[in-house]
Amino acid sequence: MNFADAIRRAAESTGAALGQPEPRADDALPETEPDMSENNEKSYQPNSAETSHAGHGHVVRLELVLTPEQLKGLFGAVVANQHSVMTLREAATYLRVSHHSLEQLAGNGDVPGMLVDGKWRFTRLGLDDWLNTHSQRKEA
C-alpha cells in the first residue's frame, strides 16, 4: 500500500472528508502546550482514539489538512516517484524543462532516452547520471 492509499483508507475509516480535520468527540488537546511545572495541576489527557493503541508499540499520529490542490499535488508526487521509467512529460517535469526541449535533447542524443513504440522513455537513474555529468562539465 502506498502513502496515498493509506491516507484514503484512513479517511474512509474515520468518516472524515479528505482535507478536513477529523471530528473529535472531546477536545482534550489544548491549543497551546500545557505548563508541565510542578505547580500546574493540568495534565494532558489523551482522547479515546489515542488510548486505543496502548500496548501496540509506538503510535505516531499525523494530521494533514490539505486543500484539494495540495492533495492532488501530494498524490501526483507519490505516483510520479514510484516508477523508475518516466514518460517524456514526467522526465521534463523532473528536469524542470519543457517537454519540447527535452524531446529535442533526446533526439540529438544529448540526454539518455529511448524510443518505445514511437514514444520517449527515460530512466530516473540515467537522468540522474546525466545531471551529475552535465553539472560537473559546467563547473569545470
**pLDDT tens, 64-95?**
788 888 888 888 877 766 778 999 999 999 99
pLDDT of res. 24: 55
Q: Give the Cα separation of 12 and 30 in Å (integer).
A: 26
**Number of C-beta neighbours around residue 74 at 10 A:** 15
Q: At what angle do helices 68-80 and 88-95 cross, to 10 degrees?
A: 110
pLDDT at 42 over 50: no
pTM confidence score:
0.43
